[in-house]
Amino acid sequence: MEKLKLRLKSEPVNRAKEISKEIVEDLMDLIRENTTTSIERTVLRLFGIIGADIDDTPYVNIIVKQLMKKGVLEMGASLYVLNACVHHDEEPEVIAKMVAEENLDLTEIPMGDYEKINALSQRLTQAAMDHIAKIKDERDKLLYETWSDPPRPYKYVIVATGNIHEDVVQAQAAARQGADIIAVIRSTAQSLLDYVPEGATTEGFGGTYATQENFRIMRKALDVVGEEQNRYIRLVNYASGLCMPEIAMMGAWEGLDFLLNDSMYGILFRDINMQRTIIDQYFSRLICAASHITINTGEDNYLTTSDAIEKAYAVTASQLINEAFALKAGMEPKYMGLGHAFEINPDIKDGLSYEIAHALLTRELFPEATLKYMPPTKHMTGDIFKGYAMNTMFNFVSVLTGQDIQLLGMLTEAIHTPFMQDRYLAVKNADYIFNNTFSLGKEFSIDDDSFISQRAHKVLEQAIELLEHTREVGLMQSIEEANFADIKRTQTGGKGLDGVIKKSPKYYNPFEGAFRRLLNLDDEVFEGGVH
């Protein structure tokens, strides 16, 4: 017996996806023709440059800032670092320290033997690609051979103490209580920092800083619980903001499983320049696709600023655009954690029918995606008993409609950061509902003339109308018109536009081609080496 279905007609679904593809294709020239300071820093990190100076400024920032100040970043940071390596017969991390500590000017070194530069580039690039492949293969082995992949919906909980070592205590406790996924909430406004802090951190407001060392610490801690319970525990963090590609690289390097990574979230909710975001998200998704990291998109946030019924179509339109961006970066559908949320006002009559319609629409539009479903937050009042009831309904809709990633709701939402016992109650609630309704969706069918079916079709029709308008005016103009989340941004406004650089015809980035070849995007590969 099939799962609960809406039986959407193929014609509107195909039209929605084709329009979304055209919207994204219209932006590919912007992506191909420009790089960003964060992309250039990511390339240097892939070459093995880590660490910071005595002022805690990362070496990669120092190098990129020097090259930008000299007006040569359009050639690519890797070219100048590789040339310095050949000139001094040193590895990139040594050159980085020389730049930071001895004020070495990379632009004053005469361009050397291009054959040697290319050979070094190939060695360093292959070493990085091999490491990423090794981490990916180790995860797959644990998931499918050594341990086990838990049944869906995956139970996803958050930790957010600000101290990575306290996060470990809470994360391990949640995993032992039955959580399948641990998300380390990032320190408030880290997305606005144009650098990634170095090392382990113990102070953060509203969350813990996303750093490579913090990723390593938490991955190791969850593997301890995995060994105890003979099951794989997934780890989540955020690859968004001004350092989106860098954090994607760190996640790939340290074995993260999910990264919050959206094509519009930073624009809408953090006022990051839209050109910067569109360029950065593409390179970050090349990394995620190569690493088999599942992205989580942020459409649930739309419903905190827009009405969940009136603007449901904007969520659907954004999901379709996010899917098109991800496909363009070579990402398989199963690694797309497209987002949506259970955020309808609980006082609305038949609200549950609306929620089921919206959840089924997402499920049917993206049958292969690993969908992420978010809990009630906007209408949580601090009444823990009503909150617990709302979360129960949320869990019911999730299993009924076949969602994949269930961010568990907390009865203390709108009161404080959850205690360990709050998470325990959330896990037990989900366990009860998931177990008792496991096959319920197979027992029912939805009539084509039912409220649920008609509502879903209406939302899809409205989403197509928005997509058609967006195709006509372009995505950036559509965002300027506040068509997504009722938030207006401008093409030249926001943070980070000064970090967008037009590529020279001789621009060099060895990982651009390496990732594209790996992902069979050969039609877009910039072949050749340094010349």
231: in domain: yes
Specify whether 59 is catalytic: no
Evaluate whether residue 291 is within a structural domain: no
Looking at the predicted structure, is the pLDDT value of residue 46 above 90? yes
Q: Which amino acid is at 291?
A: S
Is residue 518 one of the residues assigned to a domain?
no
pLDDT above 80 (res 470) = yes
pLDDT at 529: 52
pLDDT grade, residue 103 (50/70/90)? Answer: confident
Per-residue confidence (pLDDT) for residue 416, from 0 to 100: 85
Calculate the dihedral angle through the C-alpha atoms of 223, 224, 227, 231, rounding to the nearest 10 degrees: -50
The model's pLDDT over 366-397, given as tens digits with 9 standing for 90+, comes to 999 999 999 999 999 999 999 999 999 999 99
CA–CA separation, 330 and 325 (whole Å): 9
208 touches 214 (CB < 8 A): yes
**pLDDT band (50, 70, 90) for residue 306:** very high
| Residue 422: inside a domain | no
Q: Is 372 a catalytic residue?
A: yes
Pick the catalytic residue: 167, 180, 280, 300?
Answer: 300
**CA trace torsion 142, 147, 150, 155 (10° rounding):** -70
**Cα separations (Å) of 211 from 201, 216, 258?**
8, 9, 15
pLDDT of residue 3: 82
| Predicted confidence (pLDDT) per residue in 246-273, tens digit | 999 999 999 999 999 999 999 999 999 9
pLDDT value for 530? 54
Mean of pLDDT values over 100-108 = 93
464 has a pLDDT exceeding 70: yes
Domain count, the chain: 1
In three-state secondary structure terms, 131 is helix
Give the integer Cα–Cα distance in Å for 81 and 59: 12
Instruction: Considering the candidates 59, 265, 302, 313, report the single residue annotated as catalytic.
Output: 265
- 185 located within any domain: yes
Confidence of residue 102 (pLDDT cuts 50, 70, 90): confident
Q: What is the largest CA-CA distance in the chain?
A: 74
Residue pair 46/287 in contact (Cβ under 8 Å)? The answer is no
In a domain, 413, yes or no: no
Would you say residue 222 has pLDDT above 80?
A: yes
Q: How far apart are CA 277 and CA 484, in angstroms?
A: 15
300 flagged as catalytic: yes
Is pLDDT at 522 greater than 90 in this prediction?
Answer: no
Q: Is residue 14 part of a domain?
A: no
| Angstrom distances, CA of residue 375 to CA of 4, 82, 142, 204 | 21, 48, 29, 24
Judged against a pLDDT cut of 80, whether residue 112 lies above it is answered with yes
Task: Please write the tens of the pLDDT for every residue from 476-504.
Answer: 999 999 999 999 999 999 999 999 999 99
Mean residue pLDDT across the chain: 96
**Greater model confidence, 62 or 2:** 62
Name the burial class of residue 521, with classes exposed (0-12), middle (13-18) and buried (19+) by CB atoms within 10 angstroms of its CB: middle
Q: Which of 372, 404, 422, 495 is catalytic?
A: 372
Q: Considering the domain boundaries, does residue 313 fall inside one?
A: no
- Domain span including residue 226: 150-238
